[in-house]
Structure 1
């Protein structure tokens, strides 16, 4: 079945393009355009009263969508920001010990990588990084380091952005979490709406940060945080929206709302949440779940990796596939090929109007709803011809 009609505007903007970077800048479905227009219309219809609509309707709907997606017990543990970096800074600011002792990996995304390095320079953090390679021993090595203690914050990706390797040790990490420390933060950017994610067993002990830019198909500006109750009650970095609601705090001091709203910032653009709600409504109307989309992507990944193995896709057969398709296990929505010529291959494909993504020596192909087997056939032929 083809889902291209859901993306007619994006596909029509460049009909000859083959966009296989759904893991990077996911094309936006038509529903997101409707959400964008609605945001403009309501901002101008309600003007100064628009925040009543945003916090009375738009935010609660978005919270409910996130809670349903992640199997959270309550939607009031969900809050939004323009990006996940905002949440990272606020979470760490709530840790009262200095320097903050952080356990993480050498495979985290740039927001954390850069910020953590700067905290170290400033003497505000001590960071221990567990190498993610070799991955077959990574879960055991990371858990051993976490259980050794001595950390205030444990930060790890659900899916590593460069390799596509997927971590499934959240129950074990959650068992170590405590409001007094350590806190566990999972970067779910490449997991949220990419693979079914059930946080129901760990929602009371684990932070989960993600956003709408990739598999949620909602574009920039929709950073998402699930904050477990009792963890990080009073972030030092805080905005005035965090004082709306049932407040707690020292007498005469700065009060914070008791739900996830304690991590709110200040005035923000609500348009991304309109887009997110519209996309989720589209998926509901089409009776599409994350599991359905993941299965569609897996089918395309299987065909493509098979063509590569059969030497039908040019020199890609010379590359190391870092995350092979393995049965029906949950997986990343992209294939990661490591080769010294990855940068050149990406450029060659782009010259042929095939959009992929490269990280150092890893060429990534991302798969989504707006691709079908005809697109895959064209992709294989272009790879054969230009690589």
Structure 2
């Protein structure tokens, strides 16, 4: 094992003989997360009901601080947490009255796209959906449409079904913000993969991400930054939103805090937040940041692409690869094949060779991580 793989030794040892290219779907967890699990149990047993005060006065501020450093976000208290991004998006949607005019893409993850389709069906949302392909002019087409003005604009930074990424997120947001006030960026597939800098746009957007993918802290801890001086009043609201100073409101009006707790929900299991803090602190100790991880992954991807070129495979080849530029691309490479049957056949053969992959319908995805060592990539294992 190299020095970075040692941080993930428990998962790697339990999967000996396998190369985990399914790390777009589920990353290995670093060893520190086991201690974090136990820490939450110990704190719960010692403090019982008093743990809530401890978590909100210690653990949550620490998580907010660490996330702000990764994102270059200047208002750490304007970050809120939930078990999944679906819950957070629904709080934003619940802030509006009447039919919502919404702009989005055809490549959003199911937790958003399924909910969107149901609300369109119910007559709650009127959506304009922009195709991401051809990607060469996607940003131009999306920005042009945004000039019409929408109640909500929702788009991913990295698209889950392709790995394609918005090239200049800051400039993209700045142009959209000229005509739109409520911009949601789904950063789940970019967080802890691509270097992210919200310093110039964090005041203008909701930014969503979580611990399940590239952070490697497991499921159950998602977060959202909110725009500066956000005044939305979600109808979907929980008791956590009463845990900080409230606005001056009328007697008959529900009050909301002036920070991220404005979009908070209710009781949840904070084990995952403990894991998130442990991983972020581990990376801080090891002096590993998103830029370092991205550079490591690009090297792994380049080695993988050389192997693909050498194979001359009828399906796993450059012609079937969805790729624009590795410098502005997610940490997985996607092959767009003829059918789900071909994908499943190749996926099964790769698994027999110890190569674990991830797929969506007719797209086969190879994910890369800091716990990969490109020296482990062997052409004969891929040539199925």
Query: Normalising by the residue count of structure 1, what TM-score does the alignment of the two structures yield?
Result: 0.93
Distance in 1 separating the partners of 2:205 and 2:362: 33
- Distance apart, 1:319 and its partner CA: 5.0
Distance in 2 separating the partners of 1:361 and 1:352: 21
**Equivalent runs, 1:134-145 vs 2, <5 Å:** 134-145=134-145
Structure 2 gaps of 5+ residues are none
Contact between 2:143 and 2:175, CA under 8 Å: does it hold in 1?
Answer: no
Distance in 1 separating the partners of 2:8 and 2:173: 39
**Structure 2 match to 1:8:** 9
Partner SS state of residue 154, structure 1 = strand
Structure 1 gaps of 5+ residues are none
Number of aligned residue pairs: 378
Distance in 1 separating the partners of 2:181 and 2:287: 40
**Structure 2 match to 1:207:** 206
Partner SS state of residue 248, structure 1 = coil
**Does the C-alpha gap of structure 1 residues 249 and 99 become closer, same or farther in structure 2, counting only changes over 3 Å?**
farther
**Structure 2 match to 1:303:** 303
Q: Deviations over 1:341-375 (max 9, x none)?
A: 22321222223332111112211111112110232
Contact between 1:336 and 1:362, CA under 8 Å: does it hold in 2?
Answer: yes
Contact between 1:70 and 1:198, CA under 8 Å: does it hold in 2?
Answer: yes
- Distance apart, 1:181 and its partner CA: 5.3
Distance in 1 separating the partners of 2:231 and 2:343: 42
Distance in 1 separating the partners of 2:247 and 2:180: 21
**Structure 2 match to 1:372:** 373
Distance in 1 separating the partners of 2:141 and 2:313: 36
- Distance apart, 1:17 and its partner CA: 2.0
1:268 and 2:268 aligned: yes
Distance in 2 separating the partners of 1:322 and 1:232: 40
Q: Deviations over 1:89-121 (max 9, x none)?
A: 00111123x210110000111011100000011
How well do the aligned residues superpose, as a CA RMSD in angstroms? 1.8
**Structure 2 match to 1:247:** 246
**Structure 1 match to 2:232:** 233
**Structure 2 match to 1:165:** 164
- Distance apart, 1:232 and its partner CA: 4.7
Query: Normalising by the residue count of structure 2, what TM-score does the alignment of the two structures yield?
Result: 0.94
Distance in 2 separating the partners of 1:357 and 1:145: 33
Contact between 2:297 and 2:368, CA under 8 Å: does it hold in 1?
Answer: yes
- Distance apart, 1:325 and its partner CA: 4.8
Q: Deviations over 1:27-48 (max 9, x none)?
A: 0010111111111111111111
**Does the C-alpha gap of structure 1 residues 110 and 318 become closer, same or farther in structure 2, counting only changes over 3 Å?**
same
**Structure 2 match to 1:184:** 183
Distance in 1 separating the partners of 2:140 and 2:47: 54
Contact between 1:139 and 1:169, CA under 8 Å: does it hold in 2?
Answer: no
**Equivalent runs, 1:1-387 vs 2, <5 Å:** 2-96=3-97, 98-149=98-149, 151-167=150-166, 168-177=168-177, 182-248=181-247, 250-252=249-251, 253-311=253-311, 315-317=315-317, 320-323=320-323, 325-326=325-326, 329-340=327-338, 341-377=342-378, 380-384=379-383, 387=384
- Distance apart, 1:277 and its partner CA: 0.7
